[in-house]
A = this chain, B = another copy of it.
Amino acid sequence: MTKNNPSARDRIVAGAADMISRRGLNATSIRETAKHARAPLGSTYHYFPEGKQQLVTEAVRFTGEWTARSLRKELQAGPVAGLRAFLALWRKIVVESDFRAGCPVLAVSIEEPPTDETSAALAAAADVFTTWENLLADSLREHGVEPDQAAQLATLIVAAVEGTVAMCRAKHSTQPLDHTAEQLQALILATIKG
């Protein structure tokens, strides 16, 4: 069998995503992710033979898919509902971690890989952002927004939410999220009706 106990591997990935979202990419060590997932260090290199790069890449994809699932589901009730779910998702992470956790995809995006090679993790982060943008853009188009407008607005939403989460962490306050929520919601409504 290739995977006897899938939950062990998954626990490592989810734990890595959580740790990256708190301490950043480089401060997240394989040893601590293993400890955090109650898995032995030896197992980590068994599950992820390509090492940290592979683990990080999977952690990014994991977060991306987990978020995309929620977004896809809530967008069925329209773009504003999708936005609200997106915001609520990150607000929950920020608040429940006492402003210590954020988005691991963002964290991976802003830490240059030590080597000059193109990083698989960075490419995964780009894919995740694009996926989120496309989900939002498609929903906007379904509600009558011009294709170009929809793509632009979708980018703005993703970027603003990511930036806002980081600002909340720095300020130890959810006020930035409140501000951004209000502005984005009004903007979506205006764009749909316009």
Contacts and interface: CB of A to CB of B under 8 A. Distances in A.
Contact of A155 (B103, B122, B167): B167
A67 interface: no
Contact of A159 (B112, B114, B126, B163): B163
Copies of this subunit = 2
A184 B160 CA distance: 11
A162 B190 CA distance: 24
A159 B160 contact: yes
Contacts of A166: 106, 109-110, 159, 162-163
A84 B162 CA distance: 21
A179 to B, nearest CB: 4
A75 to B, nearest CB: 19
A118 B191 CA distance: 41
A1 interface: no
